[in-house]
A and B are shown apart, each in its own frame.
Chain A
Amino acid sequence: MSSRTTMNVVRLLGVSALIVLMAAALNFIVDPLQLFRPAALFPAVYSQDSRLQNAGLIRSQDFDTLFMGTSLAIHFRQSDINRVLGVKSLKLAMPGSNSHEQGFVLAAGLARGARRVIWEVDDWIFHDAPDIDQNAYLPADLYRGNASGIAGYLLSGAMARESALILARSVPEVEPVVARLSPDELTKFPISRVDDINVLGADTNVPEAYNARLAMAAFAHITNPVRSRYLAEGCDTDAMVRNFERDAVALIAQHPDVQFDIYLPPYSILQWVAMRDASPATLGIVYDFTAYLARRLTAFSNVRLFDFRAVRDVTHDLGNYGDVIHHSPAVDLKVLSWLASGDHTVDRAAPEASLAQLKAQAEAYRVEGVER
């Protein structure tokens, strides 16, 4: 009884180990993130989960310029960036990302030899956030390429499922069946071209997704007294300055040979008016913080700071927006053209001039016809 049971223990552990090793081997061979080699045996596939996908992109892609930001920078096409700015870019923007995440991912990209960074910066990314190793959404060890990260990748059952799907889809005879059984919603890697990661789909109706009605609805939503306290959430000057110094300034100072083109994006004027009306203390903190940011960044010779927040033609045309901050693809192209031409560059001698313009615009703007 005892020796038979002991054998059963060994058998159970042995079979488990075998299954785990088979999954690891499958992940290693298919390598959905292209961590170990560029896609050759199987077609390259990509994920919308940029926190995960970026770890693979940084290793597998050829680039000289990094493009970073939040959801405001997520829909840019790499091909547009390359064409307008004459660079070989890698888009690393992550929706809802904070400065810890952005600084960490940029550092990983810079370690692979990038010479230029284009960085869309929102004030709120500098709110306090979990440390990078406590972040449940960003696989920090995978970026580091250490044993823990590689083990987590190879021993992942979810990744093994993706590997099996990629493997099955690579067989022409079964591809249609697999595609039908695993629609895009059920797969992590539904994209076949790197340029298509997180861009608006071809079927997106842009006028329907970006219009004044949506912008006004969002304004009414965030200024509703029930929710307006969220405007102030996490907004603390000391914390923002501390995180800015740690995640942005330190990174810039460590890479004096890298050109940083940093821009403050063109939110709709409603964003500022919302804070003015529903949370004036928050508006004061944001003004003070961005004044500090402008003074600090313009002191670096390897930084060009752009401030698009007071570009009236864009920010006052509410048809450009899907809510109070997210702008349309047409504005994406304008941003690229301004970056190329140097328009709206912050003057090192007067770093707060554009902020003064913004303050005047926000003060003067009147909102009518808000439906709650």
Chain B
Amino acid sequence: MLFNSYPFIFLFLPVALAGYFALGRLGNLAAVIWLALASLAFYSFSNWPFVALLLASIAFNYGIGWLLIERRLRDRTRLAVATVGIAGDLVVLGIFKYGGFLAANLNAVFSIRFTVDILLPVGISFYTFTQIAFLVDAFRGKVARYRLPHYALFVTYFPHLIAGPILHHRDMIPQFESAQAKRPDPHLILCGLIIFAIGLFKKTCLADGIQPMVSLAFGANTPSFDQAWIGALAYTFQLYFDFSGYSDMAIGISLMFGVFLPLNFNSPYQARNIIDFWRRWHMTLSQFLRDYLYVPLGGNRHGRILRYVNLMLTMALGGLWHGAAWTFVIWGVLHGAYLCINHAWNHFGPAVAPRFAPAANGAAFVLTFLSVVVAWVFFRADSLASAMYVLARMADPTQVTFGRVEMLDTGLILIYAAIAWFAPNTQAIMGYDHQNRSVGEALGAWRIRPALLYASAAVLAFGILGIQQHSEFIYFRF
């Protein structure tokens, strides 16, 4: 089921909210079980063949976690149990997500015809990573015992299940255990509605609106220089508004249930360097990769060279996490290289004189943005050859079309760019503070200005009016 669909907005969400708060009066557990069941219903609506896999994954990880938390195992046994748990998760992810990719590469290398035809269970990357973090922390002794319904809800919680944000058990389960969240809070519901409206608008009006332009570069036709740039920039903004719109919707929906989700975006295209970009883009994935991959690999603790190696490895695997294709690996490697260059520049590069700082900042902003756009070409292309082809067209100014359509498209791209570069983001508008569990404090002080309320109503209405059939979120594929 999609957040941007009539059945979700007009049926599923109101019923889930009503049941949650009604059962919340009976006790904490009843509401948690209701929400877990609602989440399973949400998942099974369009992914029913994979419900059993999801439940098996929960049971397996909860069982491993129970062994690590409850049983007093010797160190070696604990290590073995944790290894089995994490390896089990990775094997399942590997089979379902990378089986076909592996077979295709083996076929190419050994000229054999080995076929693996497995459908990708939606959300598997997200719920696998979430649970690996749980197992690692359980092994490190950083996890208290959780009850099964709370753990099941932590994994299945529908606002994040399909495409994140990637949740952390220490952040989420205490919120599920809290009795306070089971009582309807009009302030949180209002703020949640507004955040949901902004996310819906981003998805249905902005991301879906720019989508047709993407085919200028990545469609069947041979793009000219300007068309290739329009297509690449259109995808750059489509992906941002699509995924950040989804994340806003997830945060808004969760807020209506009284649960604060972590932020996933912080105006990433305003970044002035790649390190900054990765602190602003898909933040929960960056944090996961840092805490559970980069740091265990050694991070920056073993000298500069190994730090760069670790960065490259982390980003290459981060790329592969997005999809089983070489285009994603190259995208990750490219960002790894960007990060290495950025760190090296910070260390070896000259200091900028204060009077040149504005110009240097401007240049850094432009360079960062262009580097990100170039990397997105690999992320979007069907193959490495297609990506290289589009990049070649972007680098060939001898072929220019720039007719009336291209002029209109360029105007639209500039509007999107202005929003991404200069408009305040959702958390800034709403005063959303995940750490301190607060939102809309300033709105309360203003007693909700009527203009803001009506503007939010219009945004929600336009978001609903923008709903199209068959408009999935791009990150559903990952």
- Residues of A whose CB lies within 8 Å of any CB of B are 1-2, 4-6, 8-9, 11-20, 23, 134-136, 139, 141, 148, 151-152, 155-158, 160, 183, 185-186, 221, 226
Contacts and interface: CB of A to CB of B under 8 A. Distances in A.
A185 B405 contact: yes
Contacts of B474: none
A37 B448 CA distance: 44
Contact of B453 (A11, A17, A157): A11
Nearest to A14: B457
Given A12-B194, A134-B470, A160 B465 contact: yes
Contacts of B465: 19-20, 23, 155-157, 160
Given A5-B186, A134-B470, A139-B469, A155 B404 contact: no
Contacts of A135: 470
A interface, over-half SS: helix
Nearest to A156: B465
B221 to A, nearest CB: 11
List of 5 A-B pairs having minimum Cβ-Cβ separation, nearest first: A157-B465, A15-B457, A19-B461, A5-B186, A136-B470
Contacts of A19: 457-458, 461-462, 465
B460 interface: yes
A15 B186 contact: no
B405 A157 contact: no
A226 B444 CA distance: 61
Nearest to A2: B186
B385 interface: yes
Contacts of A221: 222
B458 A185 contact: no
Interface in B27-58: none
Given A20-B461, A139-B469, A12 B447 contact: no
Nearest to B220: A230
B186 A157 contact: no
Nearest to A23: B465
Interface of B: 6, 186-187, 189-190, 193-194, 197, 205, 222, 385, 404-405, 408, 444, 447-448, 453-454, 456-458, 460-462, 464-471
B465 to A, nearest CB: 3
A12 B456 contact: yes
Given A141-B469, A151-B6, A11 B457 contact: yes
Nearest to B209: A158
Nearest to A19: B461
B464 A12 contact: no
A185 B460 contact: no
A136 B469 contact: yes
Nearest to B465: A157
A9 B189 contact: yes
B408 A185 contact: yes
Contact of B467 (A6, A13, A155): A155
B17 to A, nearest CB: 12
A20 B470 CA distance: 20
A221 B444 CA distance: 63
B193 A9 contact: yes
A8, A13, A19: most-surrounded residue (chain B CB, <10 A): A8
Nearest to A135: B470
A155 B6 CA distance: 10
A151 B222 CA distance: 38
Nearest to A141: B469
A105 to B, nearest CB: 16
B470 A4 contact: no
B189 to A, nearest CB: 6
A166 to B, nearest CB: 17
A8 B469 contact: no
A8 B454 contact: no
Contacts of A20: 461, 464-465
Contacts of B457: 11-16, 19
Given A141-B469, A160-B465, A16 B186 contact: no
A21 to B, nearest CB: 9
B209 to A, nearest CB: 9
B466 A157 contact: yes
Nearest to B464: A20
Given A2-B187, A12-B453, A152-B467, 15 more contacts: A4-B448, A5-B187, A5-B448, A12-B193, A12-B194, A15-B453, A15-B458, A16-B457, A16-B461, A16-B464, A19-B458, A19-B462, A141-B469, A160-B465, A185-B405
B470 A157 contact: no
A185 B222 CA distance: 21
A157 B454 contact: no
Nearest to A140: B469
Nearest to A230: B220
Contacts of B458: 15-16, 19
A348 to B, nearest CB: 38
A9 B405 contact: no
A78 B469 CA distance: 31
A134 B471 CA distance: 10
B469 A15 contact: no
Contacts of B447: 4
B216 to A, nearest CB: 14
A148 B464 CA distance: 14
Contacts of B6: 148, 151, 155
B469 A16 contact: no
Contacts of B405: 185
B220 to A, nearest CB: 8
A18 B460 CA distance: 11
A200 to B, nearest CB: 18
A12 B460 contact: yes
B385, B448, B465: most-surrounded residue (chain A CB, <10 A): B465
Contacts of B187: 1-2, 5
A152 B7 CA distance: 12
Nearest to A139: B469
B367 to A, nearest CB: 31
B46 to A, nearest CB: 11
A155 B453 contact: no
Contacts of A16: 197, 457-458, 460-461, 464
A8 B448 contact: yes
